[in-house]
A = this chain, B = another copy of it.
Amino acid sequence: MVIGGDAAGMSAASQARRLRGPDELEIVAFERGHFSSFSACGIPYWVGGDVPERDRLIARTPEEHRARDIDLRMRTEVVEIDVEGARVRVRDVESGAESWTSYDKLVIATGARPIRPVLPGVDAPGVHGVQTLDDGQALLDTLSTTKGRRAVVVGAGYIGVEMAEALINRGYEVTVVNRGKEPMSTLDPDMGRLVHRAMAGMGITMVDDAEVTKVLTGDDGRVRAVATDDAEYPADVVVLGIGVRPETELAKAAGLPVGDHGGLLTDLSMRVRGHDDIWAGGDCVEVLDLVTGRERHIPLGTHANKHGQVIGSNVGGGYATFPGVVGTAVSKVCDLEIARTGLREKDARRAGLQYVTVTIESTSRAGYYPGAAPMTVKMLAERRTGRLLGVQIVGREGAGKRVDIAAVALTAGMTVEQMTVLDLGYAPPFSPVWDPILVAARKAATAVRSSAS
């Protein structure tokens, strides 16, 4: 039995089905929403017009799942888990009818819930989240019926910046209101500063260090502005992109173990700790950070899919583990690419690690090759040992995915000295003769030697 019909849940169901036919394993899945297996990460590109229609974001419809002998029940919410009795109480969302149903093995994939600030006016028409396809459709409806062209995005994390791009592409004047000193708090502030500058250069009004205190509405009840302590920002539409929290109310009520970040705690096989027959994956769990050895909450489709794959393999009688993450993320706003992996300075400090940090400027291609675009790479390495701790990248085309080089090096526990001689692909259209990651590694290795005392 699977709770949640999106990436983690349905990947688990599909993988288990691949390993065990319907005669061997019955699979039932409950989804309270209208859609299964959709790409939430794609919503900004649908809203922005890059993806022409909603259904392109649906990887597999309920009918397709059912054709694979997965009994997926839509608009059916699980409202209680009875761990002792190995059963769940389900409610038909339309009729309200409830019933108990038993499981042998349970997969919890309830995802995450967007953080919606408790603010006066936040529920006014014209204020939108962007977590579900229904949210995306509602926002598109607002955009198509609203005459004004002023948009305020609340939050400057990756959802915020992606939505800023989407609204620019729709022809809006965009203001991004951000609690932090710089956008992209997943970067160190010095790298966030580069994002700030680039976004401002795109004509986006960046309001940093500002807390939204109120959503102001007009006579028609619709949003007309967003207020902070200091100012008001006129808005014909407001998008909330503040982030998400693990959706674990159900699990907590059932007494399942939840970590400091509110996510379910699992073992390496994605089994909920202390529960042999309950598994959990996706945005509702915490994952092990391989660099610090601590749990984190990282809601990302790519992890959810891997979790599902691992759970499905184990439930289906195979064997797989999810060892953890190094914290890789990549996003873009217009032609600016932003990437990170591993630890920021504050993460390293919090983990008790001493480190050196270097920042270099290079280009994505050979300097003389057309389209060579500047990119900035910041690298953290542990003092003395020289172990790579993290990389942050801000640049243009070809910059972002270079973070994968560092992600693999982090996973392998490489030192920056070892990284200086990595055999990376070189040709003028692809890289300078020293790839920017190698340039950063060389500088970091020098800094490590100076820190050896």
Query: Quick check: is A115 within 8 A (CB to CB) of the other chain?
Result: no
In the complex, the answer to whether B405 meets A404 with C-beta atoms within 8 Å is yes
Query: Quick check: is A35 within 8 A (CB to CB) of the other chain?
Result: no
In the complex, the answer to whether B434 meets A422 with C-beta atoms within 8 Å is no
Identify which of B302, B366, B420 contacts A433 (C-beta below 8 A): B302
The interface bits of chain A over 308-329 (1 if a CB of B lies within 8 angstroms of the residue's CB, else 0) are 0110000000000111011111
| Count of chain A residues with a beta carbon within 8 Å of a chain B beta carbon | 67
Q: How far is the CB of A334 from chain B (nearest CB, A)?
A: 11
Interface positions of A from 245 to 282, Cβ below 8 Å from B: none
Interface positions of A from 373 to 432, Cβ below 8 Å from B: 398, 400-405, 407-409, 411-412, 414, 418, 420-431
Q: How far is the CB of A210 from chain B (nearest CB, A)?
A: 26
In the complex, the answer to whether B404 meets A368 with C-beta atoms within 8 Å is no
Identify which of B330, B400, B425 contacts A339 (C-beta below 8 A): B425
In the complex, the answer to whether A421 meets B369 with C-beta atoms within 8 Å is no
Stretch from A38-46, A181-189, A220-228 forming part of the interface with B: A38-46
Query: Quick check: is A332 within 8 A (CB to CB) of the other chain?
Result: yes
A116: chain B residues within 8 A (beta carbon): none
CB nearest neighbor in B for A318: B449
Identify which of B303, B323, B428 contacts A45 (C-beta below 8 A): B428
Q: How far is the CA of A129 from the CA of B288 in the complex (A)?
A: 55
Q: Which residues on A are within 8 Å of B, measured CB to CB?
A: 7, 39, 41-42, 45, 50-51, 56-57, 158, 162, 300-303, 305-306, 309-310, 321-323, 325-332, 337, 339, 341, 366, 368-370, 398, 400-405, 407-409, 411-412, 414, 418, 420-431, 433-435, 442
Other A-B contacts than A41-B428, A407-B423, A411-B418, 15 sampled, CB-CB below 8 A, are: A41-B426, A45-B368, A45-B429, A50-B369, A51-B368, A51-B370, A56-B368, A158-B427, A300-B426, A302-B433, A303-B423, A325-B423, A332-B427, A404-B422, A411-B412
A-B contact pairs, 6 of them (CB 8 A): A300-B426, A321-B421, A326-B423, A332-B429, A408-B414, A411-B418
